[in-house]
Structures are given as structure tokens and as C-alpha cells.
Structure 1
Amino acid sequence: MQSNAEKLDIASKHKKNVDLYRALLDDKTKKVKKECARFDEHALQILTIHDDTVLHAATYAKQSRLVLDLLEALPSAHLDRMTRQNHQGNTILHDAATSEDNLDVAKKVFEKAPGLLCMRNHLGETALFRSVRYGNKKIFNFLAEKIDGYKEDHTKQLFLQRSDKTTILHVAILAQHFG
């Protein structure tokens, strides 16, 4: 059973998250940066019940400038936490792949955590796969260029096919992104 002090601490954390989420939705960049600096996790603070971090939420909301600023302010000791996945298994790079506006974010995220390129969500999709599903040619080209560095075709196949054997060609056709 939780003590009153523990309940107050949990309520305080929820209040901070609510304030931070509202500032993010209202595009109050300065407030978001200030609030993130108050958390031990900084911009990797879990913000939603779906385990989205502040970076996930800002990236998905297409607030590229804010994301870039938050990434710059992120302590280097926290870089290993950038592999954090939300409930769907998406990383920050997966979320960046959903919008052409996030090309700079994708580049910066890759620079800070190149291992995200290989990570799959719960559907077995890499960020490259998601870029195709959302029809984002610029991000697709950027990620494909990074994958070209791999020598073995078998390794490249991991990026081009989901766990259920659906390929990027299948998803491009289904999403009607014929270009």
C-alpha cells in the first residue's frame, strides 16, 4: 500500500507531465525546454501512457526545431537511452520517418544513435520501412544511403522486409506511394 508521500510524489510527477504535454501541444518551445531540463531523463522523460518520450511526442508533432534543440541539450550520458521504444516499439527515428519535415531530425538522431537504424518496432518495421509506408522520399533516400554501407545482402534484407515477410514494395503499393 502506498503512503501519502508516495501518492503525492506520483501526483506531482503526473502534474509535471501534464504541464509539459500541454506546453508541447501549445508550441511553447521555451517552456518545453525549461521543463525537460528539470527532469533527470531530460527530453527522454516518458510523457504518455504509451511510453512516448518528450522526443517521441515532439518528433511526431513535427516540431523539428524543438527536437533538434532538445537533442543538442541532451547530456551525452543519456545517448544510450535514445533506443527507448514506446508501446508500439517505435523509436525516435521511427517517428521521424513519418514526415518529410523531419529530415533534419532523422539526420541528427542517426548521428547521435546510429543503432536506431537497425531497430524494429512490434510490427517488425525499421525506420526505413516506415518512411516508405508514409511516402517520405527524402527520409527514405537518407536512410537507404546509410543502409548501402552494409556489405551483405542478407543484412540489407532485414531493412526491406517486416517480420511477416511484407516488403517495402508491398507497403508502397498498399499505401499508394507509387513514386
Structure 2
Amino acid sequence: MASSGTVCTRSITISHSVAFRAALNWNADSLSVIRRFLSHQPQGLTQLDGQGNTILHFLALDGNANALKQLFEDRLLTNQDLRSRNSRGDTVLHEAARFGKRDVAEMILEKEKDLLSARNHLGETPLYTAAACGTEAVFDLLQVNVGREEVILTRNDGCTVLHAAVTREHYSELL
């Protein structure tokens, strides 16, 4: 190991920033780069970018469910890793909800259904985030799994999922 943020393997150096770029700019080599990084530096999932995002946040917002599944199959990810949060307190499921990545949301729910009730710093659940962003397919998926629990439908300030949909003018998609 060259330094705390760099992994050396077969004369290939994989830094934290290289792994992040591989997740952001997905190509044929990205999965192998992330695999090597995580297999030689498992704490790499706790390393954050400037907004507190992990590699998993980037895979979720990009909609890369296949990469997430593969990393689970390789035992480089655990259910606990899905609970990582960025500086806003958003989980990987919040990011999938924000960007309308239904495949990622389904995969996350298979692994860690408790994330449905995870709240960010504003008290927004992934369902609230999907309503606010108008991501209908993810909203439908989360709504079916959540039911009508009041605690999940309301943000810290009392705003509800319906408030979020109306305020952002996404109510027609969600009603």
C-alpha cells in the first residue's frame, strides 16, 4: 500500500479519486477498478467526496444496479454499507429516489428494507424525496412497500409527501 488513500496492486495504483471517477464515468473497466479498490481497501466505502458521498451514492444516482449487485456477489459490499450517508444525511436509497433509479431502489429494498424509514437531516424519507423530485416509478415502488405510515409520510417540519408533490408541481404524476 503506497499511502492511506492509495492501493497498489500489480503495479497499478488505485487511489480513492480514481475509484470515484470510475463510479462517476462508467465504462467497461469501471467495475474492475472499484473491485480492486474495495478488495484492497475495504474502508474505502467510508471515504467521502466534498459533499459526503461514497462510491455507493454515485452508483445509485447513476442507476448502476448491476454494479451494486456484482459488488454484493463479490462480498465487497454488505447491507450495512447501504446505510452510508452523505453530508445531507441521504442514504443510497435517497439518491436512487431523487434520480428515479427504480432498479437500484428495488435492489436496495431486497437487501435493506429498513432504509424506507431512513431520514435525512431535514427528516425526509426516500418516499418524500421521490415525491419532491417527481420520480413516479420509484415513488410507486416505495409507496407499495411503505404503506401509509404517517411517520414516513411527514418531514421534520410537518410537511407531508403530498405537500412535497404539490410544491414541486409533481402531483399529477403521483396521484
Q: TM-score range by the shorter chain?
A: 0.7 to 0.9
Distance 1:20 1:109 in 2: 21
TM-score (norm 1): 0.79
Gaps of 5+ in 1: none
Amino acid aligned to 2:92: I
Q: Deviations over 1:96-151 (max 9, x none)?
A: 00123x11110110111111111100010000000001101111111111112xxx
Amino acid aligned to 1:28: N
**2:152 is the counterpart of 1:159:** yes
Aligned residues: 165
Asked whether the 8 Å contact 2:117–2:125 carries over to 1, the reply is yes
Gaps of 5+ in 2: 8-13
Q: Deviation at 1:51?
A: 2.6
TM-score (norm 2): 0.80
Amino acid aligned to 2:119: R
Distance 1:168 1:29 in 2: 39
- Provide the secondary structure at the position in 1 that maps to 2:3: helix
Q: Which has the higher helix share?
A: 1
Asked whether the 8 Å contact 2:24–2:58 carries over to 1, the reply is no
2:91 is aligned to: 91
Q: Deviations over 1:41-72 (max 9, x none)?
A: 38835341333111101212333443343344
In structure 2, do the counterparts of structure 1 residues 127 and 44 end up closer, same or farther at CA, with 3 Å as the change threshold?
same
- Percent identity between matched residues is 26
| Alignment equivalent of 1:172, drawn from 134, 157, 165 | 165
Q: Which has the higher strand share?
A: 2
